[in-house]
Structure 1
Amino acid sequence: MKAFAQLFLSLDETNKTNEKVKVLKNYFATVPDTDKMHMLALFTGRRPKRQINATLIRHWAIEASNIPAWLFEESYHVVGDLAETMSLLMPENESSSSKTLTEWIAEINALADKTEAEKKDWLLTSWAMLDSQERFVFNKLLTGSFRIGVSQNLVVKALADVTGIEAPALTHRIMGKWMPENYTFDQLVQEQTASDDISRPYPFFLAYPIQETSERQKSAADVEASLGDAEQWQAEWKWDGIRAQMIKRGGEIFIWSRGEDLATEKFPELHSFLQALPDGTVLDGEILSFRDGKPLPFNVLQTRIGRKNLSKKILTDSPVATIVYDCLEYEGEDIRSKTQAERRSLLEGLQGNSAYQEVFRLSTLIDFNSWEKLESIREQSRAMIAEGIMLKRKSATYQVGRRRGDWWKWKIDPLSVDAVMIYAQKGHGRRADLYTDYTFAVWDGDKLVPFAKAYSGLTDAEINKVDYFVKRNTLEKFGPVRTVKPELVFEIGFEGINRSTRHKSGIALRFPRILRWRHDKPKEEADTLESLKAFLED
């Protein structure tokens, strides 16, 4: 655990890419193979299941810290991170544990069969065995809050340098439904095992955005200057759904989301078309709610996301289909090295021969002969329930991750309103002592009505200025939340808007974020609830 705790803290302390890779390579070179696989699992979202609820952990942490509950809670509000708060408040321990990461995770998993008393005894004993750094990382694992400030690409790069295996191959091998208990490091690095898991998806190819830093999208002239002749490109709508790979191998079907969640059972409407595909087929596309041949807004699909059981009502209210735009495997052969045009031709053949075209839909190619014409078509995006347009070079191969050059997304400008900040709360991690999470309101008559929260879009310098304002203009305190003097105005951007009975304003926004600080606008000139609701009619 000491080596893993040091890795975690070393990565957290640097923003330099080369230094992060160096730290990762050192970890891979010095720990047992089992720890390597558990580290890879944690860094790719495969965290151990939480075995003790947060309330019990807090109670026992207060007991171990030997301080009043109110002081613990006040400390938590200041620190902003439960795992760090617990590690700071407990008595110092000079010794450290000799147990490996693998051994600690095995003990955490074994808690499933323990009584509450046994769990408490184990946890208090464990805390006493760890130094403060180890305890912090241990608490992260225990509470299910483990996050790390390093991309999967950097982890793969370090692993590629250590093993001599190409990064794209490793990226593919660490996808799928493996867990460190059943997938060894030897299996990972042996090429012949790369295709053993028939459920394994391919790494997703991600488009790069065509946009200005202000989020205002580029014009046709800008796009032409960047991408050249329009004849070299194909254009499709950018759908607002769930990106997914749909797999038929070995007589079995699998649906993977981009977040590497196996979601086969969540979309039973797609099973028939997948079962009818030729064996050895992998498709890439978007899952959306569909009715009467038309896509529905994302909030309709959202009603079934995260549900363990899909009731008849949910299936009726939010029926789904998939719009497929790429074919990655055909007749058992990896065809990602074929051109975009070649893969499209194979995809059209598959879809044209399907008896399930209502749910197996083909992404329509947009007919255009100039960037000016395509820019005009792009203005229809919201009417199409789309976010904009995807541009794909006809000669492009299917690549790994986000790459500049061959796939671009040309989104429409976000919807936006000017709003007044009325509440603020401290952030987490390195921003735990700064007010970075804000609630915004618009005018309803002479009252300000909250309608959205946002915590992204400001520079570090702007965050510091807002924090300074909050600390000197607090009107009330409600736990970690402060009511502030309604004075600062910000332009809030969002992708969509829907009616909501759960919110006081009667609306809910999709992806709200701060576009800019409106220093030029007094609070009286902020937008109204009526102007927000007008977007519902568009």
Structure 2
Amino acid sequence: MQNFAELIKTLDSSNKTNVKVEALTQYFRAASDTDRVWTIAILSHRRPPRPVNTTLLRLWASELAGIPIWLFEDSYHIVGDLAETIALVIPASKDHSEKTLTEFVEEMITLKKKSDTEKKEYLHDNWLSLNYYERFVFTKLITGSFRIGVSQKLMTRALSKATGVDEDVLAYKLMGEWDPARISFQDLVLEEKAQDFLSKPYPFYLAYAVEGEVQDLGDVANWSAEHKWDGIRSQTIIRNDQLYVWSRGEELVTDKYPEFNSFLGIIPNGMVIDGEILPWTEGGIGSFNDLQTRIGRKVVTPALLKKTPVIIRAYDLLEYNGEDIRTLPYIERRKLLEQLYDTIKDYALPLQLSERIQLNNWDEALHEKTKARDLRSEGLMFKRNDSIYGVGRKKGDWWKWKLDPFSIDAVLTYAMRGSGRRATLFTDYTFALWQTNDDGTKELVTFAKAYSGLTDAEFRMVDDFIKKNTLDRFGPVRSVTPKLVFEIGFEGIAFSGRHKSGVATRFPRILRWRHDKTIEDANSIDDLKDMIPR
């Protein structure tokens, strides 16, 4: 546990990717096999079930610290993290544990079935015998909330450096269902299996946002355009009569989209298609809100398949008849993709071509962009006709020209403290719009939360206003006198039965503080609904 706690301390105290990768690499080289497996599981969100609820954790920690529960709760709201609060308020110890990470996790698994008295005794014993950071990590494991700014990709990169196993192969190996309590490090990571390479995707090629005027890209004849669809970027792999669907986040999502099994036997082996997974409802593209009903579902029921079917809009072809063709010019890869589609289009598969738009001038691009919202796209993509399919994000060959965000003026109504360096400030806000009731009265109805977009100085000014104009408190949430108006921007919008406003917005953030407006000038829920594409 001491080594694991030191690893977490290093990861948690640095924003530099290279520092994190090096720390993880050294840890994976030195740790025992069982600790390595549990570390992979913890960092990829495969933690054992939480053995103690947070209400009891807070109560037992305040008792051990010798402080009233209200003081603990206030401290918790300031710190913003339960494990860190517990580590801070309990008397410090200079000792460290000789037990391994695996031993602690195995104890926590058995703890779940024990009585509250036994759980309390176990927690008190360990809280008192661990030093600050070990206590912090121990409590993180108990709460089941272990987020420390390490992505799956970063961890996989370090594991690859430590073991010599290819990153993409590791990404596949670590996906799917595996039990850290039963699998060995040899079987999980080191053992070579033909299937690991069979499913291997290519790195995704990404675009930069257009800078300045689109005409600055040069001769329009050198470019192809297409719409930037708002779904889940994916690679669909068909090899050896098997199907693999990967998301851009390096997650194997084949099981989430059983519709795509229909590709087998029709699309030839040795094909890798780059495209976008989109909801296809009532014969057209649905909203991203529709797609979210499919994301994260462990079980895709027949009812869900019927309610929210999906398709793939194909952008590019990366492998053709088993040959890596990424170094071919885009225009040649595109022709092969179109030839492939011509051979399968009569089978009514959930696969469509993303139309390649040939432009005669840049004014035509602007005209096409104006259609984007009606087509449920985010804007346009420009791809140089002679460009290869590269790796990662590089300037020059692929550009995205996104629509300006939706925006609306809303009233600040609730606030919470932020986290990290903003833990002492109220920076997480809830915003509302006007709604006219049947009797003609008006009320403010919440519709979105946002916590970014203001300067540090503005956050301090809003924080000062909130502290002086609090109407009520609900745990960490404060109700605020409705007075401040902000322009809120967001990328997408859809009707939603899960929200009081009846509307869900995507990626809301603060665009600016409207000092020039009073709350009477704020927009209404009807204004918001009028923005929804129909």
TM category (shorter chain) comes to: 0.7 to 0.9
Paired AA for residue 497 in structure 1: I
Farther off after superposition, 281-290 or 337-346: 337-346
Distance 2:188 2:293 in 1: 39
Determine if contact 1:234/1:365 at 8 Å carries over to the other structure.
yes
1:185 Cα deviation after fit? 8.3
Using the alignment, how far apart are the partners of 1:334 and 1:250 within structure 2? 16
Partner of 2:334: 344
Give the 3-state SS of the residue equivalent to 1:527 in structure 2: coil
In structure 2, the partner of 1:48 is 47
Alignment partner for residue 497 of structure 1, among 466, 483, 493?
A: 493
Task: Report if the CA contact (8 A) 1:281-1:330 is conserved.
Answer: yes
Q: Is the 8 A contact 2:262 2:349 kept in 1?
A: no
Q: Deviations over 1:106-131 (max 9, x none)?
A: 655x5498545676665555444421
Equivalent position of 1:214 in the other structure: none
Unpaired runs of 5+ residues, structure 1, are 212-217
- Percent identity of paired positions between Structure 1 and Structure 2: 51
Aligned match for 1:296, one of 280, 286, 290: 286
Match for residue 270 of structure 2 among 253, 272, 280: 280
Distance 2:71 2:79 in 1: 12
State the distance in 2 between where 1:193 and 1:316 align. 36
Contact 1:475 1:482 in 2 (8 A): yes
Q: Which residue of 2 aligns with 1:6?
A: 6
2:232 is aligned to 242
Partner Cα separation in structure 2 for residue 22 and residue 435 of structure 1: 35
Measured in 1, the distance between the counterparts of 2:271 and 2:4 equals 39
Q: 1:64 to 1:405 in 2, by over 3 A?
A: farther
Aligned pair partner of 1:452 in 444, 448, 461: 448
Q: In terms of mean alpha carbon deviation, does 50-59 or 127-136 score higher?
A: 50-59
Check whether the contact 2:450–2:509 (CA below 8 A) recurs between aligned residues. yes
Work out whether residues 247 and 274 of structure 1, in 8 Å CA contact, stay in contact via their aligned partners in 2: no
Choose 99-108 or 275-284, whichever is displaced more: 99-108
1:210 alignment partner in structure 2: 210
Once structures 1 and 2 are overlaid, which stretch shifts more, 387-396 or 144-153? 144-153
Which stretch of structure 1 is more off in the superposition, 378-387 or 177-186?
177-186
Structure 2 residue matching 1:176: 3-state secondary structure: helix
Q: For residue 469 of structure 1, give the secondary structure of its aligned residue in structure 2.
A: helix
> Structure 1 residue 150: deviation in Å?
5.2
Alignment coverage as a number of residue pairs: 521
Paired letter, 1:132: Y
Q: Deviations over 1:406-465 (max 9, x none)?
A: 332211111111111111111223322221110111233543222211112223333222
Contact conserved, 1:199 with 1:254, CA < 8 A, in 2?
yes
Residues 206, 400 of structure 1: 8 Å contact kept: yes
| Aligned pairs for 1:265-276 within 5 A | 265-276=255-266
Q: Is the 8 A contact 2:417 2:427 kept in 1?
A: yes
Q: CA deviation at 1:149?
A: 3.3
Matching of residue 436 in structure 1 with residue 432 in structure 2: no
**Partner of 2:172 in structure 1?**
176
Within the candidate set 473, 476, 498, 2:472 is matched to: 476
- Quickly say closer, same or farther: Cα 1:305–1:157, change in 2 above 3 A: closer
Residues 153 and 250 in structure 2, CA contact (< 8 A), matched pair in contact too: no
Give the aligned CA root-mean-square deviation in angstroms. Answer: 3.4
**SS in structure 2 of the partner of residue 536 of structure 1:** coil
Partner of 2:395: 404
More deviation, 430-439/56-65? 56-65
Partner of 2:531, secondary structure, is helix
310-319 vs 263-272, which moves further: 310-319
Paired residue secondary structure (2:201): coil
Matched ranges for 1:85-234 at <5 A:
85-101=85-101, 104-105=104-105, 108=108, 110-111=109-110, 114-115=113-114, 123-149=123-149, 170-178=166-174, 184=185, 196-210=196-210, 222-225=213-216, 227-234=217-224
Q: Structure 1's 84 and 30: CA in aligned 2 closer, same or farther, altered over 3 A? A: same
Q: Deviations over 1:461-490 (max 9, x none)?
A: 332222222222222212111112222221
Checking the alignment, whether the CA contact within 8 Å between 1:47 and 1:144 is kept in structure 2 is: no
Change (3 A) 1:537 1:335: closer
Report SS of the residue matched to 2:96.
coil
Whether the 8 Å CA contact 2:263–2:349 is kept in 1: the answer is no
Give the match for residue 380 of structure 1. Answer: 371
Shift of residue 374 of structure 1? 0.8
Cα distance 1:205–1:32, how it changes in 2: closer, same or farther (>3 A)?
farther
Q: Following TM superposition, by how much is the alpha carbon of 1:7 offset from its aligned partner in structure 2, in angstroms?
A: 3.2
Letter in 1 for 2:82: L
> CA–CA distance in 2 between the matches of 1:409 and 1:103?
50
In 2, distance between residues paired with 1:123 and 1:509? Answer: 42
Q: 1:286, CA displacement in angstroms?
A: 1.3
Aligned partner of 1:465 in structure 2 is 461
Identify the range of structure 1 (65-74 vs 229-238) with the bigger mean alpha-carbon deviation. 65-74
Distance 1:320 1:15 in 2: 37
- Higher mean alpha-carbon deviation, 73-82 vs 392-401, is at 392-401
Cα 1:498/1:139, change in 2 over 3 Å: same
1:379 CA drift (Å)? 0.9
In 1: Cα distance, 2:235 partner to 2:103 partner:
34
Q: CA deviation at 1:66?
A: 5.3
- Structure-2 change in CA distance of 1:125 and 1:335 (3 Å): farther
Moved more, 432-441 or 526-535: 526-535
1:417 and 2:408 are equivalent in the alignment: yes
**1:41, distance to aligned residue in structure 2 (A):** 5.6
TM superposition shift of 1:276: 3.1
Deviates more, 1:433-442 or 1:297-306: 297-306
The one of 311, 314, 334 equivalent to 1:321 is 311
